[in-house]
A and B are shown apart, each in its own frame.
With several copies, the nearest count.
Chain A
Amino acid sequence: MSSTAAHYTASELLAVMSSRLLKDGQIVFAGVGIPLLAATLAQGTHCPGLTILFEGGVIGPVIEPGKLPPSTNEQRCTVRANMVLASTDVLLLLQRGYVDIGFMGGAQIDQYGNLNSSFIGDPAHPKTRLPGTGGGNDIASLAQMIVAMKHEKRRFVEEVDFVTSPGFLRGGTSRRDSGLLAGGMYRVVTDLGIFGFDEQTRRMKIVALHDGVSIEQVQDNTGFKLEPARDVEVTKRPTERELEFLRKLDPERLYTA
């Protein structure tokens, strides 16, 4: 491994690890930031046939290095796309079942994979009003999810203050019982490891650790008890090729600093 590959930021690690979870031929509903970088990286490496959808109403755009869109509702998202359609209709593709993976970032997540981007504190008298769901609730309600986020104790809480985007709600069959028949949390990717959810309890578990990270370190940074899966793997460090691709894509380090 070269010296370039030896140095990378936490964001670069997130992007690389997430990209490796994507499979060729998948249709991925991506947010801007790490998800878009990761999906574009996947296209450039092992997934030439991956299709990106944007919430603004875009199918299959080409992301130009150095011209990352500032939101999924901006004209840069439409560059050399295969199709541009109404936002409602691109969201309905989730409901129809056309989307393999919903891929977004997260501010706060709990043991059942529920995400909060609405309120810190009591929603009736919030300490902080956050921007809200956007399409996050729809994506998380209707597709298999990958979430990429920094691993901090204040972000990994036992129970989120507010379920903006549903994971497995209160675990067990509660998601399906609520009427959410499809989708659900698949993986959470952090700068410490990769996490999945138990098939029965739907609680978060450790699937893999990044090189040099211990289970204790993960547990210390998590606000609830994390069980390891039967065989916790160790991920392979980002390669030079992956990092070069990312740095070309985001030369100003808007999302990878």
Chain B
Amino acid sequence: MSDSYLDLRRKLTERDRSLHEKVVSLEQAAALVKDGETVGIGGSTLSRTPMAMVWALIRARKKRLTCARGITSSEGDWLFGSGACDHMITSWFSQGIVWGVSKVMRHYTEQGLARFDEWSHMAMGMRFRAGAMGVPFLPMRSMLGSDVVRQRPEVREMECPFTGDKLLLVPALNPDVALIHVQRCDAYGNAQMDGLQFLDIDLAMAATRVILTTERIVSNGQIRRVPDQTKIPFFAVEAVVEVPFGCAPHECSGVNEPLFKHMDYYTSLVNKEPVKGMAEYLDRYVYGPKSWTEYLNLLGLDHLLEAAKGGRSVSNA
């Protein structure tokens, strides 16, 4: 985060940015993330969360990750509860509005076991956008005057040299790696996504490298037929993993709605006993299964197909 402009550029040039195949397994992709790195997480709340990749990072016993996301849901619980992450940078952190306040988030933050830096949602967007643009900050007009800004020594206020308006300058956030799940991409990492984009495009361009998970890998020819649908260019991408239902139990637009019954079960389990409940959940659902497919099986094929029916039919209306 405190890299100089030239450091940020150098990190990009150190990568092989030619058009080459980069399809790997979840485990191989997890090995690309180092302990202590800053990880940007795509999607928002219950939507297009790169859950399979978060699951793989926890299984790989990552430590001391700093994670950043627009709005954080149960994947934040997992990251805190597993010990993979001790620092979330986000605008909102719970399991989802319908389940009330996350007791896991409360336990870790109130006990001082982990840090939750709060920014406004637009500020998160501006920080990724500044990072994507290669500028050290962007100016904005919210957060001013509130206590949210008083908790954030990272910002600066300025008087606009053009208008005299008071503006808030928020610093660029350039994660070491971004985890992003898309509906389709090619083997090189040219990614196309449907529905809500959230902050993902700025996040992808702000990060030093992107790990893509995708519902399916399509041919480069398919991408090239509609290049104006490509949202992330291959040269930003370090690895591509094909993971059907890679957001479960969260949703993926046009693919599946959230697995609400599983989320109900999950929240009641971990909110009852944030540490013990989470340990039980992680043992059973994250460390236990041999593969992501086995994890999906644990969620239940009937539940999965029901959620998929809802996801596929969302635009039928």
Query: A contacts B directly in the complex (CB < 8 Å)?
Result: yes
- Provide the residues of chain A in CB contact with B188, threshold 8 Å: 82
- CB contacts (< 8 Å) of B91 on chain A: these are 132-135
Interfacial chain B residues near A181, Cβ < 8 Å: 5-6, 141, 165
Contact A75 B251 (CB under 8 A): yes
Contact A138:B145 (CB < 8 A) given known A70-B98, A82-B227, A86-B198: no
- Say whether B311 contacts A98, CB under 8 Å: no
Say whether, besides A84-B227, A87-B199, A88-B129, A70 and B148 are in contact (CB < 8 Å): no
B110 within 8 A of A: yes
Looking at the assembled complex, report how far the CB atom of B159 sits from the nearest CB atom of chain A, in whole angstroms: 9
A82 to B317, CA, bound (A): 13
How far, in whole Å, are A71 and B92 apart by their CA atoms in the complex?
A: 12
Is A5 engaged at the interface, CB distance under 8 Å to the other chain? no
Chain A residues contacting B197 (CB-CB under 8 Å) are 57, 84-87
Contact of B195 among A70, A84, A118 (CB under 8 A): A84
Contact A138 B120 (CB under 8 A): yes
Chain B contacts with A in 93-114, Cβ cutoff 8 A: 93-94, 96-98, 101-102, 105-106, 109-110
Instruction: Identify which of residues 43-77 in chain A touch chain B, using a CB-to-CB cut-off of 8 Å.
Output: 49-51, 55-60, 62, 64, 70-71, 73-77
- Nearest residue in A to B223 (C-beta to C-beta)? A82
Given contacts A87-B44, A129-B109, whether A25 and B9 have CB atoms under 8 Å apart is no
| Chain A residues numbered 156-192 whose CB sits less than 8 Å from any CB in chain B | 162-166, 169, 174-175, 178-182
Contact with A along B44-66 (1 / 0, CB 8 A): 11110000000000000000000
Contact B145 A180 (CB under 8 A): yes
State whether the Cβ of A40 lies closer than 8 Å to any Cβ in chain B: no
Complex Cα distance A62/B280, Å?
A: 41
Minimum CB–CB distance from A136 to chain B (whole Å) comes to 8
A91 at the interface (CB under 8 A from B): yes
Which of chain A's residues have a CB closer than 8 A to the CB of B145? 141, 163, 166, 169, 174-175, 178-180
Chain A residues, Cβ within 8 Å of B190: 82-83
Size category, A interface: 35 or more
Given A71-B98, A96-B134, A126-B110; 6 other pairs, CB 8 A cutoff = A75-B257, A79-B317, A80-B224, A96-B8, A123-B151, A128-B106
List 28 interface pairs A-B (beta carbons < 8 Å), by A numbering.
Answer: A51-B17, A51-B18, A55-B121, A60-B19, A70-B96, A73-B71, A74-B45, A74-B46, A75-B311, A79-B317, A82-B234, A83-B233, A84-B197, A88-B126, A92-B205, A97-B12, A98-B236, A130-B101, A132-B116, A133-B120, A135-B122, A138-B121, A141-B120, A162-B147, A163-B146, A164-B147, A182-B5, A254-B98
For the complex of A and B, list the 5 residue pairs with the smallest distance between their C-beta atoms, beginning with the closest. A178-B145, A179-B166, A88-B125, A97-B9, A49-B18
Give residues in B with beta carbon < 8 Å to A: 5-6, 8-10, 12-13, 16-20, 44-47, 70-71, 90-94, 96-98, 101-102, 105-106, 109-110, 116, 118-123, 125-126, 128-129, 132-135, 140-148, 151, 157, 165-168, 188, 190, 195-199, 201-202, 205, 220, 223-224, 227-228, 230, 233-236, 251, 253-254, 257-258, 260, 311, 314-315, 317
